[in-house]
């Protein structure tokens, strides 16, 4: 007599995917046995088939998505890669009422790990942790922090934007590990995966919820689309915020330039490779190799793109060179022709004085160069993203926006005022 195997129900895609399908049956994920272990807070429900909308269903669909992302990235990362939160990555699936999800190292009033929330919008209770897109995006933040921890406090628009781009790339590549989704993408795009698809349209449900509160804050059919037409512009010349249809220097917005280029690179690699799953793995490996090797510089998008070409040379003997270069050149991230020189770099503390922040003392900011630090801080202050309570200054000149979530904080270290990151916040402000 055959032994009946335990299965769970899990979403392949976001719960509000345009192509509405039923949850899929899959074996339950054992998060503690992953190469990089994950632990969801609270007692795990017994593995089994539960009704959509139940807490038990949400637990197993989140566990399924998180395990899929770890199984994709962990083999590509350097052998000694470890979470910045400890031996295991903590996850809270219902951390409270908010239209939000975030990754934090811990400290500065935030719990370590991934935190997901729920929020009632137009009578619908939206759980961010139920979406595989959001779960694998946040897991991407944790994974990139494990691979390249120096990016955490780097005060640079492009470094912060790359973190958000990596999260979206994590969602795309994790989704492509599911055979049914690969088949749907190939069918719906006629094998031209640089076209919009179920995989490229990220966080449809969250996008819907955000549009109910601010119609211009999310794209028309999702939160962000990894397939887009944004072209690189100097972030110094962009506004700090903008409607979703336009580009700004806000990291989620600006990240779309790199994400769009990466998807075009992946589409070209698929043509070369002839196998979408294999192309996704190769693209992920090239990106990880580039992240490990590339110094942090103000023009970080170009730096990563350049090192992607070099990673292909070392690992694949230039098999993908033309399509990698083509994707980044078409978006203006790389110039025409391969750059003759790779820019050096690295982050160190920069002293900021005399800016219009209301401060009466210097501020230390970790950044690849002085202008990048000042530009990044200008944007943060304008968006109300800095907790300035520890600073000495003119209260009448300080920018205080109490309804905005603070991603950064000014703290005192060795008697000096220093800017530190609290979290990568992916919620509605």
The proportion of the chain whose per-residue pLDDT surpasses 70, expressed as a percent, equals: 94
Summary mean pLDDT of the chain: 93
The confidence score (pLDDT) of residue 386 equals 92
Last residue of a domain, which of 303, 330, 357? 330
The model's confidence at residue 353, banded by pLDDT at 50, 70 and 90, is confident
Highest mean pLDDT among 107-111, 131-135, 346-350: 131-135
**Residues 93, 62: contact at Cβ < 8 Å?**
yes
The model's confidence at residue 395, banded by pLDDT at 50, 70 and 90, is low
For the cut 90, the answer to whether the pLDDT of residue 419 exceeds it is yes
167 & 284 share domain: yes
238 & 306 share domain: yes
Judged by DSSP in three states, 340 sits in: coil
Residue 342 lies in a domain: no
The confidence score (pLDDT) of residue 29 equals 96
Residue 161 lies in a domain: yes
- How many Å apart are CA 192 and CA 429, to the nearest integer? 35
The confidence score (pLDDT) of residue 397 equals 56
Residue 340 lies in a domain: no
The model's confidence at residue 393, banded by pLDDT at 50, 70 and 90, is confident
Residue 341 lies in a domain: no
For the cut 80, the answer to whether the pLDDT of residue 355 exceeds it is no
Last residue of a domain, which of 297, 330, 363? 330
- How many Å apart are CA 140 and CA 163, to the nearest integer? 8
130 & 168 share domain: no
The model's confidence at residue 100, banded by pLDDT at 50, 70 and 90, is very high
Question: Listing from the earlier edge strand, what are the strands of the sheet with 363-367?
Answer: 348-352, 363-367, 416-421, 408-413, 386-387
- How many Å apart are CA 94 and CA 115, to the nearest integer? 7
The model's confidence at residue 392, banded by pLDDT at 50, 70 and 90, is confident
Residue 370 lies in a domain: yes
The CATH number of residue 191's host domain is 1.10.390
Lowest-pLDDT range of 55-64, 292-301, 320-329, 419-428: 419-428
The residue-averaged pLDDT of 377-404 equals: 81
Q: Could you tell me whether strands 101-104 and 113-116 are parallel, antiparallel, or unpaired per DSSP bridges?
A: antiparallel
pLDDT tens profile 221-266: 999 999 999 999 999 999 999 999 999 999 999 999 999 999 999 9
The proportion of the chain whose per-residue pLDDT surpasses 90, expressed as a percent, equals: 86
Range of the domain at 408: 348-425
297 & 409 share domain: no
The model's confidence at residue 3, banded by pLDDT at 50, 70 and 90, is very low
The confidence score (pLDDT) of residue 38 equals 98
147 & 169 share domain: no
Structure-token match 């944790």, residue found: 142
Q: Of 71, 45, 203, 182, nearest to 130 (Cα)? A: 203
The confidence score (pLDDT) of residue 186 equals 97
Residue 335 lies in a domain: no
12 & 43 share domain: yes
pLDDT tens profile 157-172: 999 999 999 999 999 9
The confidence score (pLDDT) of residue 52 equals 94
The confidence score (pLDDT) of residue 338 equals 58
The model's confidence at residue 367, banded by pLDDT at 50, 70 and 90, is very high
The confidence score (pLDDT) of residue 404 equals 85
Q: Say how many residues make up the chain.
A: 429
The confidence score (pLDDT) of residue 1 equals 45
The model's confidence at residue 18, banded by pLDDT at 50, 70 and 90, is low
The confidence score (pLDDT) of residue 40 equals 98
**Residues 84, 152: contact at Cβ < 8 Å?**
yes
The model's confidence at residue 394, banded by pLDDT at 50, 70 and 90, is low
191 & 275 share domain: yes
145 & 164 share domain: no
Judged by DSSP in three states, 265 sits in: helix
**Residues 380, 407: contact at Cβ < 8 Å?**
yes
For the cut 60, the answer to whether the pLDDT of residue 82 exceeds it is yes
374 & 271 share domain: no
Q: Number of structural domains, the chain?
A: 3
Lowest-pLDDT range of 3-7, 217-221, 388-392: 3-7
Residue 191 lies in a domain: yes
Residue 137 lies in a domain: yes
The residues with which 359 forms a beta bridge, in sequence order, are: 393
237 & 378 share domain: no
For the cut 90, the answer to whether the pLDDT of residue 77 exceeds it is yes
Last residue of a domain, which of 88, 120, 151? 151
234 & 217 share domain: yes
129 & 193 share domain: no
């Amino acid at each position: 007599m055959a032994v009946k195997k335990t299965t769970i129900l899990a979403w392949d895609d976001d719960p509000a995917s345009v192509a509405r399908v039923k949850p899929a049956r899959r074996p339950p994920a054992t998060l503690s046995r992953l190469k990089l272990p994950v632990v969801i807070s609270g007692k795990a429900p017994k593995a089994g088939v539960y009704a959509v909308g139940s807490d038990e269903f949400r637990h197993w669909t989140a566990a399924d998505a998180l395990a899929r992302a770890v199984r994709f990235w962990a083999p590509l990362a350097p052998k000694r890669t470890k979470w910045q939160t400890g031996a295991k990555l903590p996850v809270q699936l219902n951390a409270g009422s908010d239209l939000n999800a975030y990754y934090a190292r811990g400290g500065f009033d935030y719990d370590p790990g991934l935190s997901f929330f729920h929020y009632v919008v137009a009578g619908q209770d939206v759980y961010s942790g139920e979406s595989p897109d959001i779960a694998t995006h946040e897991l991407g933040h944790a994974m990139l922090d494990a691979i390249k921890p120096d990016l955490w406090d780097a005060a640079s628009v492009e470094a912060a934007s790359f973190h958000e781009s990596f999260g979206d790339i994590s969602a795309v590549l994790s989704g492509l590990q599911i055979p049914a989704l690969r088949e749907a993408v190939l069918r719906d795009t006629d094998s031209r995966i640089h076209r919009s698809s179920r995989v490229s349209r990220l966080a449809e449900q969250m996008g819907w919820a955000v549009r109910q509160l601010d119609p211009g804050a999310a794209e028309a059919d999702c939160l962000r689309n990894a397939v887009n037409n944004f072209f690189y512009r100097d972030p110094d010349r962009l506004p700090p915020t903008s409607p979703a249809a336009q580009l700004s220097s806000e990291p989620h917005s600006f990240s779309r330039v790199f994400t769009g280029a990466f998807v075009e690179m992946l589409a070209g690699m698929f043509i070369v490779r002839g196998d979408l799953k294999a192309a996704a793995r190769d693209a992920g490996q090239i990106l990880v190799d580039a992240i490990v090797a590339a110094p942090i510089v103000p023009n970080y998008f170009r730096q990563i793109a350049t090192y992607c070409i070099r990673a292909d040379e070392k690992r694949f003997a230039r098999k993908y060179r033309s399509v990698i270069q083509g994707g980044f050149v078409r978006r203006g991230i790389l110039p025409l022709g391969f750059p003759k020189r790779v820019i050096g770099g690295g982050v160190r503390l920069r002293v900021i004085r005399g800016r219009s922040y209301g401060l009466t003392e210097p501020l230390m900011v970790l950044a690849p160069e002085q202008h990048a630090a000042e530009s990044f801080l200008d944007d943060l202050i304008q968006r109300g993203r800095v907790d300035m309570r520890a600073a000495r200054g003119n209260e009448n000149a300080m920018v205080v926006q109490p309804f905005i979530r603070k991603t950064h904080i000014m703290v005192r270290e060795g008697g000096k005022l220093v800017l530190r990151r609290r979290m990568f916040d992916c919620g509605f402000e």
